[in-house]
């Protein structure tokens, strides 16, 4: 039986750009170019490797977001995913992590899955909780923050490196997996992959296709609210000295004055 | 007075510092009630009581160690039902965030992660977050349900305040999902003997300029003289000079110490994202144009192999 793998990807503002908030305190997506979240490239890579190791498997990439977000799915298709799904709906603007997990769960159920693979966090919101929320929503095991992952015999196994211990984990499929940037370098799309991606099916869905009530998502449906956002005041220029042989002692003097020594 | 649940992060009964900081934060919102899962509550209750926890709800079951995350969510959910708190505070570790998020979803509550500060407000707790690589700070509230907030290390001081620390047994019924992900084995990380990176008051980091794994001894010597944790930039980690567990930055750990010492680190946005909220920043770099110098309170333009050992000697001499 075919192994159905869904990889969730996110289109995020480029972190090297000057990111801002819009007037409604959501991320201003027009100010900076977007791209596939770097941490999601590892998820696509692991999804493809799991598929390649299986006898019969198919990888579907899914994303939620405005028109541009299609770029994230397109990149996954170029890397080797077979199909894409893009959930786009004006009502999604300003959705928080709880709402995102709802829409993602509905989309994954719509596609049909044995395994969902995600990155450890997005590089914009950086909360890192959507994989766990998705598992809670879908009622399947979460096997998250893996630096190594493999799937065989209807089971997923992997290694989770925590602060104080490294854990070997095991769960039966279906399951939600998230992978870290230690899981293995992501491949670059080949020329053939880039050309071939244009012919792959990319389905666009809206909330009504997924049976999601718009009142439960978006800025109004969020269970948290941003009250204000303040640009960090520029640091007052620090003291910079050139080492003329006394740089270490000068720095020690500064640290002592600040009571660190 | 309203009660605030504090989820206790501990290693075999030793309460970790971020939990003690959470007790300080919790007292701004109400009366702290600690939730302790696993063995060893006797010793821990004394420490929790000495930092302001009036009650300690404790549950011990093999499920907490044998399965991932969900048994802890079941227990916290039971604690919320037993206490009816105004807020639930959880340390912002990777696991803490997962526990908090799943709990919030079950409670029909919003969740805020990685708060760097929490204050009482008219609409309930107001959480400050540092976003977009610390270019902005936001203040947010949970607008639905009990506020579930994860709080980063160093968000508040540890303050001893004597309270009862009375241990009460928490009854937990594990749900079907609790045994979904089995922990087949667990290997403790070998301790360097240095403070944990995310908790440390001082972090000394090395980057590309360290130029080799063996040269990290220069960074470690400075760290040891200051009682600091050792960090590394992504460039140094990718080169294999230092373990990934010590990586500071967007794809590594985010640190917010009192003092951050960047050595041979240029200060790419990905690195800045992980350390920009440090209270005092100093840097040593050969390149006067390195972007790290835009952030520093004190910078030395020079060869780290001259500057850092001299600094280490001076620190040792001053500390006697």
Give residue B315's pLDDT.
97
CA dihedral A193, A198, A199, A203 (to 10 degrees): 120
Query: Is residue A212 included in any domain, yes or no?
Result: yes
ipTM of the complex: 0.94
Return the HEC string of A138-153.
HCCCEEEEEEEEEEEC
- Which of the 8 DSSP states describes residue A164? S
Domain ranges within chain B, ordered by starting residue: 3-179, 197-319
Return the bridge partners of B247, or none. Answer: B232
- CATH architecture of the domain covering B197-319: 3-Layer(aba) Sandwich (3.40)
Contact B147, B112 (CB under 8 A): yes
Give residue A21's pLDDT.
85
Q: Is the torsion defined by CA of B205, B208, B210, B213 positive or negative?
A: positive
Per-residue pLDDT tens for A191-212? Answer: 999 999 999 999 999 999 999 9
Distance from CA of A205 to the nearest CA of B (A): 25
CATH number at residue A20: 3.40.50.620
Query: Is B219 annotated as contributing to ligand binding?
Result: no
Contact B143, A224 (CB under 8 A): yes
Token pair for B151:
């709080």
Tell me if chain A has a CB within 8 Å of the CB of B278.
no
The boundaries of the domain holding residue A101 are: 3-216
Domain B3-179 identical in fold to domain B197-319? yes
Q: Would you place residue A155 in the very low, low, confident or very high pLDDT band (cuts 50, 70, 90)?
A: very high
How many helices, marked H, and strands, marked E, lie in chain A?
8, 13
List CB contacts (< 8 A) between B298 and chain A.
Answer: 238-241, 251, 254
Q: Which chain A residue has the Cα nearest residue B290?
A: A240
Q: Name residues whose C-beta falls within 8 Å of residue A195's C-beta, 6 or more positions apart in sequence.
A: none
Overall fold of domain B3-179: Rossmann fold (3.40.50)
What whole-number distance in Å separates Cα of residue B282 and Cα of residue B228? 14
Give residue A150's pLDDT.
97
Q: Name residues whose C-beta falls within 8 Å of residue A66's C-beta, 6 or more positions apart in sequence.
A: A29, A88, A92, A93
Q: Provide the number of structural domains found in chain A.
A: 1
Give residue B246's pLDDT.
94
Contact between chains at B105 and A98 (C-beta distance less than 8 A):
yes
Query: Is residue A186 included in any domain, yes or no?
Result: yes
Q: Which chain A residue has the Cα nearest residue B246?
A: A163
Give residue A190's pLDDT.
95
Give residue A16's pLDDT.
76
CA distances from B240 to A46, A111, A227, B213, B245 (A): 22, 40, 43, 7, 12
> How confident is the prediction for chain A on average, in pLDDT?
94
Looking at the partner chain, which of A39, A137, A254 has a beta carbon nearest the beta carbon of B298? A254
Query: Is B265 annotated as contributing to ligand binding?
Result: yes
Quote the distance between the C-alpha of residue A183 and its chain's center.
Answer: 14
The residue-averaged pLDDT of A241-252 equals 97
CA distances from B231 to B18, B66, B200, B220, B272 (A): 19, 31, 11, 9, 13
Give residue A80's pLDDT.
97
Q: Would you place residue A111 in the very low, low, confident or very high pLDDT band (cuts 50, 70, 90)?
A: very high
B194 exposure class (CB count in 10 Å sphere: 0-12, 13-18, 19+): middle
Token pair for B264:
């041979």
Contact between chains at B140 and A143 (C-beta distance less than 8 A):
no
Query: Is residue A184 included in any domain, yes or no?
Result: yes
Render each residue's pLDDT in chain B as its tens digit; 320 residues.
Answer: 799 999 999 999 999 999 999 999 999 999 999 999 999 999 999 999 999 999 999 999 999 999 999 999 999 999 999 999 999 999 999 999 999 999 999 999 999 999 999 999 999 999 999 888 778 899 999 999 999 999 999 999 999 999 999 999 999 999 999 999 999 999 998 778 899 999 899 999 999 999 999 999 999 999 999 999 999 999 999 999 999 999 999 888 889 899 999 999 999 988 988 998 899 999 999 999 999 999 999 999 999 999 999 999 999 999 87
Give residue A88's pLDDT.
97
Distance from CA of A103 to the nearest CA of B (A): 14
Tell me if chain A has a CB within 8 Å of the CB of B102.
yes
The residue-averaged pLDDT of A222-236 equals 89
What whole-number distance in Å separates Cα of residue B260 and Cα of residue B205? 8
Contact between chains at A123 and B187 (C-beta distance less than 8 A):
no
CA distances from B300 to A245, B86, B227, B262 (A): 11, 48, 21, 10
Distance from CA of A201 to the nearest CA of B (A): 32
Contact B258, B280 (CB under 8 A): yes
Give residue B305's pLDDT.
98
The 10 Å CB-count burial string (b at 16+, else e) for B259-283 is: bbbbbbbbbbbbbbbbbbbbebbbb
Tell me if chain A has a CB within 8 Å of the CB of B189.
yes
Give residue B121's pLDDT.
96
Give residue A1's pLDDT.
60
E-strand stretches of A139-238: 142-152, 155-161, 165-172, 175-179, 202-205, 224-231
Q: Is the torsion defined by CA of B188, B189, B194, B197 positive or negative?
A: negative
- Residue closest to B246 by CA, chosen among B257, B260, B236: B236
Q: Which of residues 164-223 of A touch B (CB under 8 A)?
A: 164-172, 175, 180-182, 222-223
Give residue A15's pLDDT.
78
Query: Is residue A52 included in any domain, yes or no?
Result: yes
Q: Would you place residue A126 in the very low, low, confident or very high pLDDT band (cuts 50, 70, 90)?
A: confident
List CB contacts (< 8 A) between A126 and chain B.
Answer: 114, 131, 250
The residue-averaged pLDDT of A87-95 equals 95
- Residue closest to B73 by CA, chosen among B83, B85, B64: B64
Quote the distance between the C-alpha of residue B37 and its chain's center.
Answer: 19
Per-residue pLDDT tens for A6-20? Answer: 999 998 888 777 788
Token pair for A53:
């190791």
Query: Is residue A239 included in any domain, yes or no?
Result: no
B179 exposure class (CB count in 10 Å sphere: 0-12, 13-18, 19+): middle
């Amino acid at each position: 039986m075919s192994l159905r793998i869904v990889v969730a990807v996110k289109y995020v503002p480029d972190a090297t750009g000057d990111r801002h908030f819009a007037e409604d305190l959501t991320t201003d997506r027009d100010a900076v170019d977007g791209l596939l979240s770097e941490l999601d490239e590892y998820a696509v890579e692991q999804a493809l490797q799991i598929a390649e190791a299986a006898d019969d498997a198919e990888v579907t990439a899914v994303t939620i977001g405005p028109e541009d977000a299609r770029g994230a799915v397109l990149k996954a298709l170029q890397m080797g995913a077979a199909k894409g799904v893009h959930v786009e709906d004006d009502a999604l603007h300003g959705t928080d992590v709880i709402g995102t997990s709802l829409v993602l769960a509905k989309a994954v159920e719509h596609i049909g899955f044995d395994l969902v693979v995600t990155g450890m966090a997005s590089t914009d919101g950086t909360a890192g909780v959507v994989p766990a929320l998705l598992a809670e929503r879908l009622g399947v095991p979460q096997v998250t923050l893996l630096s190594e992952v493999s799937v065989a015999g209807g089971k997923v196994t992997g290694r989770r490196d925590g602060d104080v211990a490294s854990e070997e984990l095991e769960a039966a499929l279906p399951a939600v997996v998230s992978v870290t940037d230690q899981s293995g370098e992501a491949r670059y799309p080949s020329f053939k992959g880039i050309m071939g991606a244009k012919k792959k099916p990319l389905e666009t869905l809206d909330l009504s296709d997924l049976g999601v009530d718009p009142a439960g998502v978006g800025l109004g449906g969020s269970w948290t609210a941003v009250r204000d956002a303040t640009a960090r005041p520029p640091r007052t220029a620090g003291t910079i000295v050139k080492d003329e042989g006394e740089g270490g002692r000068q720095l020690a003097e500064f640290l002592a004055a600040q009571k660190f020594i | 007075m309203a009660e605030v649940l504090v989820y206790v992060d501990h290693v075999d009964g030793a309460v970790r510092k971020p939990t003690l900081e959470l007790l300080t934060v919790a007292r701004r919102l109400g009366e702290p009630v600690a939730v302790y899962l696993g063995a060893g509550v006797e010793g821990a209750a004394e420490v929790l009581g000495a930092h302001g926890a009036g009650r300690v709800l404790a549950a011990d079951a093999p499920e907490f160690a044998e399965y991932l995350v969900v048994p802890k969510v079941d227990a916290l959910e039971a604690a919320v039902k037993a206490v009816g708190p105004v807020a639930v505070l959880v340390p912002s570790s990777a696991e803490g965030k997962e526990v908090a998020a799943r709990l919030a979803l079950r409670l029909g509550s919003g969740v805020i992660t990685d708060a760097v500060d929490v204050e009482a407000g008219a609409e309930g707790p107001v959480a400050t977050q540092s976003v977009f690589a610390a270019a902005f700070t936001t203040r947010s509230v949970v607008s639905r349900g009990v506020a579930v907030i994860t709080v980063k290390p160093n968000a508040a001081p540890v303050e001893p305040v004597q309270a009862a620390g009375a241990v009460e047994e928490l009854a937990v019924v594990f749900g079907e999902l609790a045994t979904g992900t089995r922990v087949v084995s667990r290997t403790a990380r070998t301790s360097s003997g240095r403070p944990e990176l995310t908790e440390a008051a001082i972090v000394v980091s090395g980057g590309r300029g360290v130029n080799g794994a063996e040269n990290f001894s220069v960074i470690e010597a400075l760290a040891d003289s200051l009682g600091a944790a050792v960090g590394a930039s992504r460039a140094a980690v990718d080169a294999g000079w230092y373990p990934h567990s010590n990586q500071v930055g967007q794809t590594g750990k985010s640190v917010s110490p009192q003092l951050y010492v960047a050595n041979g680190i240029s200060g790419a946005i990905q690195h800045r994202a992980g350390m920009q909220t440090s209270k005092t920043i100093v840097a040593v770099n050969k390149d006067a144009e390195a972007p790290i110098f835009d952030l520093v309170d004190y910078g030395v333009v020079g060869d780290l192999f001259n500057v850092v050992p001299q600094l280490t000697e001076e620190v040792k001499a001053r500390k006697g």
